[in-house]
Amino acid sequence: GQNIDQPTEMTATEGAIVQINCTYQTSGFNGLFWYQQHAGEAPTFLSYNVLDGLEEKGRFSSFLSRSKGYSYLLLKELQMKDSASYLCAALDSNYQLIWGAGTKLIIKP
Amino acid sequence: DAGITQSPRYKITETGRQVTLMCHQTWSHSYMFWYRQDLGHGLRLIYYSAAADITDKGEVPDGYVVSRSKTENFPLTLESATRSQTSVYFCASSVAENTEAFFGQGTRLTVV
């Protein structure tokens, strides 16, 4: 079956760095997305990786290893507004998105 | 207004009633999607559409009907609502299957 695993909840301190991991098992693979979702709001796009390696976008970076079925989202210089759920989603061979349940990130002052 | 909008934002309905959730996008994106989001689950795809008059089932289509007569609209109908369909429903659109999706603000549906 197809599956996405990511931690349910993580806690980090304002100003610190946090890494949110995601492992995936899909029938074929056409890329991996990360979305941010604040409580009560819609998901918003953060990143898309299809090749191995690290992509950096300001304070956020996303890494992909296709051979290991693994990705992570790295958030630097954490701010209180980064408190949200982070959703990992893999695109399978039929171009259907398989979503993880999300990681709730709690930022403490 | 530009973007993707859903209506209503909140809806309470009774078991057995038919209810339609509306979704409208102004970008002329080819792809549109309907998801439901429940606690403890990831987003689950109900139906999607690659273009006007083309729709396909997703992971959890039972009890739902969609149509797409115009590119900009993608309504979702619950034919006979059940309590298990209580959820938050998100509509989304994208240019292609492997590009970022833009989500509507969601409809919180309660079936009593």
DSSP A88-104: EEEE-TTS-EEE---EE
Facing A101 at nearest CB: one of B41, B58, B104: B41
Does residue B104 have a pLDDT over 80? yes
Which chain A residue's Cα is nearest to B101? A45
**Cβ pair B45:A44 closer than 8 A:** no
Q: Give the model's pLDDT for residue A40.
A: 93
The whole-angstrom distance between B100's CA and the closest CA on chain A is: 6
Q: Give the model's pLDDT for residue B1.
A: 61
CA distances from B10 to B21, B22, B110 (A): 10, 12, 8
> Which of the 8 DSSP states describes residue B2?
-
Does residue B97 have a pLDDT over 90? no
| Average pLDDT score over residue span B97-112 | 96
| Average pLDDT score over residue span B8-23 | 98
The whole-angstrom distance between A15's CA and the closest CA on chain B is: 28
Lowest mean pLDDT among A72-76, A105-109, B38-42, B60-64: B38-42
> Which of the 8 DSSP states describes residue B80?
S
The whole-angstrom distance between B96's CA and the closest CA on chain A is: 10
Does residue A3 have a pLDDT over 80? yes
**Cβ pair B99:A48 closer than 8 A:** yes
- The number of beta carbons lying within 10 Å of the beta carbon of residue A49 is 18
CB A104 within 8 A of CB A9: yes
Q: Give the model's pLDDT for residue B36.
A: 98
CB A106 within 8 A of CB A42: no
**Residue B14: which residues within 8 A CB-CB, separation 6 or more?**
B81, B111, B112
CB A37 within 8 A of CB A100: no
Does residue B17 have a pLDDT over 70? yes
> For A40-91, what is each residue's pLDDT tens digit?
999 999 999 999 999 999 999 999 999 999 999 999 999 999 999 999 999 9
Contact residues on chain A for B106, CB-CB shorter than 8 A = 41-42
A102 in reach of chain B (CB within 8 A)? yes
List residues of chain B with CB under 8 Å from any CB of chain A.
Answer: 40-45, 58, 90, 97-106
Q: Give the model's pLDDT for residue A95.
A: 87
Q: Give the model's pLDDT for residue B55.
A: 96
A12 in reach of chain B (CB within 8 A)? no
